[in-house]
Amino acid sequence: MDIQRLRNLTTGKLHTEMGHIYEDLGMLTGETGLMTHVLPRAMKAVKPWLQDKVTEARFWDGEYDTTHVGEFDLPEPTKEDQKAFFARFAEMPNPLAGKEVIIVQV
């Protein structure tokens, strides 16, 4: 994985483009079509797995750093990993709970 794209997920700072966050979280979770309001919770859900796989402190420094470049050999999560992501995700408060949600059909 491109290090700058990985830093999007580990630092919480946008190093590339927003579309990469959707793509990379989709790849990690196995879910396509993640919506904007779930991204913060999805990032928190995959964080323990990422911390286990990405141990270099520089990835977790919380800084915007365009000099940290190259490729990182990030393994694909297993189905069990993905189940754990969703278990953590389900435990988090839903930001839309208690709010009026309007469904628009085109």
- Cβ(15)–Cβ(64) below 8 Å: yes
Q: Say how far apart CA 45 and CA 83 lie, in whole Å.
A: 10
pTM (2 decimals)?
Answer: 0.87
Q: Is 37 left (phi over 0), alpha (psi -120 to 50) or beta?
A: alpha
- Cβ(10)–Cβ(60) below 8 Å: yes
- Cβ(96)–Cβ(40) below 8 Å: no
Share of the chain above pLDDT 70, in %: 100
Q: Say how far apart CA 94 and CA 72 lie, in whole Å.
A: 32
- Mind listing the pLDDT tens digit for each residue in 48-67? 999 999 999 999 999 999 99
- Mind listing the pLDDT tens digit for each residue in 63-86? 999 999 999 999 999 999 999 999
Q: Can you give the residue ranges of every domain in the chain? A: 3-91
